[in-house]
């Protein structure tokens, strides 16, 4: 039986989570339905709400209750013990940055973001350089305030905010073999002379048909529309407000329904995770997602490992023909499957295919790690970027807007965030191999449109635990192994070599 302090703390934190969900809701509205005129009031609403949430989460009372929990004999290994451990972690971390630093960060962020936009539009890095310089300085200070475990490095302190427990050294160890092998695979593909027809990516499809198609797919894989919504925003995202209410968005381009499908499958993966967290644990760590890497493993699993598989299209093509007859008239399983797996080096990360994507991430990880170490100054970023880009992807960057100015992350002070995208790809492949071992022939199920066994397996092994186990520990519990690059390489080579006649 949890003691008095634990019960009181849980109630307090639950109310904070309710308040935080209101903050999330107004953010969702800002990206979807808010009229442009609402911007000024909205920024006040957001500032007030997040201020209140921060105040509650870092109050002295919370700190005292966490300490009192230690005397309540909570059995180690229990869910309650995991909650107290995570509450303490969040509390300590949230109190480490001095108020003046947080304020300076927030000022710098809004200026840097604004200047980044202008610099990107002009494709002129020199306009952004002083702001990046300032941001690197602030990020190095943040790392110092947070601190890092002995034997580590400052970058670890930032990484901890997105992927608790991960370290730069570990990530480097996992990424390094991937870099060479991926580069080689991509070169072989480029040299193969095979170029799948991409007609399904270039033809106009009426918006009504596109919408019916992506909703059909989201619901087939298990996103519950009675507990969620799908709307439209410039940058697709998913926001799990709490039990029974998960908001996701997608985007529609007139001539590329597959773009809307990928975005929707991706956000559905995030949504399915949020919808299957234990509802009764809402407001506690064990009722929330464990890390960005694990979250991304869910989205990329459904988007890529399911949505770009041949078995998926064997099931989906007849439905697609019914919902989008004009687009699909001359298409077959083979043609759509090949088009969905076109690999081609390109400048922009968010448009990159499944194979080249990870090289975009590695480059960013290496550069930001060097910035935080003090080995790379803002001024040298374009040169280093372009050099590595040529090495890894084989193409010359033509302008800064297609190179180091393309992402908002650094202007926003999001350093330590990029690696979680590739960690997500790696976790997804390793989890799917375990699922195949335990569930049998997943492809045979996909061919029949049976996605529930996989979804239930993910809920059983990942979703229902919330933050009970750290990401690395969760991976070992599920797969028996540490995270490795092998499953991803097996997946990509196994799929792409036959398509490109390399097998
Ligand atoms: Zn995502």
Distance 336 CA to ligand 1 centre (A): 23
> For the whole model, what pTM was predicted?
0.96
The pLDDT, as a whole number, for residue 107 is: 87
The pLDDT, as a whole number, for residue 117 is: 93
Structural contact between residues 227 and 271, judged by C-beta atoms closer than 8 angstroms: no
Residue 406 and residue 266 share a domain = yes
Q: Is 368 left (phi over 0), alpha (psi -120 to 50) or beta?
A: alpha
Tokens standing for residue 72: 């309540």
Last residue of a domain, one of 147, 179, 194: 147
Does residue 267 have an active-site annotation?
Answer: yes
Distance 243 CA to ligand 1 centre (A): 20
Residue 80 and residue 51 share a domain = yes
Low-confidence ranges of the chain (pLDDT < 50): none
Give me the half-sphere count of Cα atoms (radius 13 Å) on the Cβ side of residue 368.
Answer: 28
Tokens standing for residue 412: 């926003």
Q: Is residue 124 part of a domain?
A: yes
Distance 303 CA to ligand 1 centre (A): 10
42 vs 34: CA distance, rounded Å: 9
Q: Is residue 162 part of a domain?
A: no
Q: Is residue 159 part of a domain?
A: no
The pLDDT, as a whole number, for residue 503 is: 78
The pLDDT, as a whole number, for residue 368 is: 97
Structural contact between residues 496 and 187, judged by C-beta atoms closer than 8 angstroms: no
Domain extent at residue 486: 168-499
Answer positive or negative: Cα dihedral of 259, 263, 264, 266: positive
With CA atoms as reference, report the closest residue to 185 among 308, 340, 357.
Answer: 357
Residue 261 and residue 122 share a domain = no
End-to-end alpha carbon distance in the chain: 59
The pLDDT, as a whole number, for residue 404 is: 97
Distances (CA, A) of 379 to 131, 370, 400, 495: 11, 13, 13, 41
DSSP for 19-78 reads HHHHHHHHHHHHHHT--GGGHHHHHHHHHHHHHHHHHHHT-HHHHHHHHHHGGGTPPTTS
Listed in sequence order, the residues at least 6 apart from 431 whose beta carbon sits closer than 8 Å to its beta carbon are: 297, 301, 458, 461, 462, 475, 478, 479
Distance 290 CA to ligand 1 centre (A): 14
Q: Is residue 155 part of a domain?
A: no
299 vs 296: CA distance, rounded Å: 5
Tokens standing for residue 443: 């492809």
323 vs 305: CA distance, rounded Å: 23
Distance 299 CA to ligand 1 centre (A): 6
The pLDDT, as a whole number, for residue 286 is: 98
Catalytic residue among 80, 86, 129, 267: 267
**How many domains, in total, are found in the chain?**
2
Distances (CA, A) of 62 to 261, 359, 393, 438: 43, 43, 49, 42
Residue 185 and residue 88 share a domain = no
């Amino acid at each position: 039986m949890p003691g008095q302090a634990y019960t009181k703390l849980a109630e307090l934190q639950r109310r904070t989570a309710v308040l935080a969900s209101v903050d999330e809701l107004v953010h969702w509205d800002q990206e979807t339905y808010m009229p442009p005129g609402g911007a000024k009031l909205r920024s006040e609403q957001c500032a007030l709400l997040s201020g209140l949430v921060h105040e509650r989460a870092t109050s002295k009372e919370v700190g005292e209750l966490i300490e009192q929990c230690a005397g309540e004999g909570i059995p180690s290994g229990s869910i309650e013990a995991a909650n107290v451990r995570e509450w303490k972690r969040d509390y300590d971390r949230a109190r480490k940055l001095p108020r003046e630093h947080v304020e300076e960060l927030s000022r710098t962020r809004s200026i840097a973001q604004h200047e980044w936009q202008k610099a990107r539009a002009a494709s002129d890095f020199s306009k952004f350089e002083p702001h990046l310089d300032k941001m690197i300085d602030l990020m190095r200070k943040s790392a110092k305030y947070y601190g890092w475990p002995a034997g580590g490095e400052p970058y670890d302190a930032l990484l901890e905010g997105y992927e608790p427990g991960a370290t730069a050294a570990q990530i480097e160890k996992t990424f390094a073999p991937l870099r060479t092998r991926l580069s080689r695979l991509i070169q072989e593909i480029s040299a193969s002379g095979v170029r799948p027809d991409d007609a399904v990516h270039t033809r106009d499809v009426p918006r009504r048909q596109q919408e019916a198609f992506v909703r059909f797919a989201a619901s087939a894989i298990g996103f519950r529309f009675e507990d969620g919504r799908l709307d439209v925003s410039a940058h697709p995202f998913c926001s799990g407000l709490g039990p029974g209410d998960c908001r996701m968005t997608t985007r529609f381009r007139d001539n590329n329904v597959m773009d809307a499908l990928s975005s929707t499958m991706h956000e559905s993966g995030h949504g399915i995770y949020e919808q299957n967290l234990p509802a009764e644990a809402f407001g506690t760590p064990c009722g929330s997602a464990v890390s960005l890497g694990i979250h991304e493993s869910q989205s990329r699993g459904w988007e890529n490992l399911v949505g770009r598989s041949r078995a998926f299209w064997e099931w989906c093509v007849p439905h697609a023909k019914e919902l989008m007859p004009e687009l699909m008239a001359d298409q077959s399983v083979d043609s759509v499957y090949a088009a969905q797996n076109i690999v081609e080096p390109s400048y922009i990360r968010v448009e990159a295919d499944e194979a080249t994507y990870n090289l975009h991430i590695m480059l960013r990880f290496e550069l930001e790690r060097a910035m935080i170490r003090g080995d790379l100054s803002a001024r040298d970023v374009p040169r280093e970027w372009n050099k590595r880009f040529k090495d890894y992807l084989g193409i010359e960057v033509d302008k800064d807007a297609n190179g180091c100015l393309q992402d908002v992350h650094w202007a926003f002070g999001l350093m330590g965030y990029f690696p979680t995208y590739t960690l997500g790809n790696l976790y997804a492949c390793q989890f799917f191999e375990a699922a195949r071992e335990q569930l049998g022939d997943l492809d045979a199920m996909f061919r029949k449109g049976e996605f529930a066994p996989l979804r239930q397996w993910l809920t059983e092994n990942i979703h229902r635990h919330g933050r009970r186990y750290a990401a690395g520990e969760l991976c070992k519990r599920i797969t028996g192994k540490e995270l490795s690059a092998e499953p991803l390489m097996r997946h990509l080579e196994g799929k792409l070599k036959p398509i490109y006649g390399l097998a």
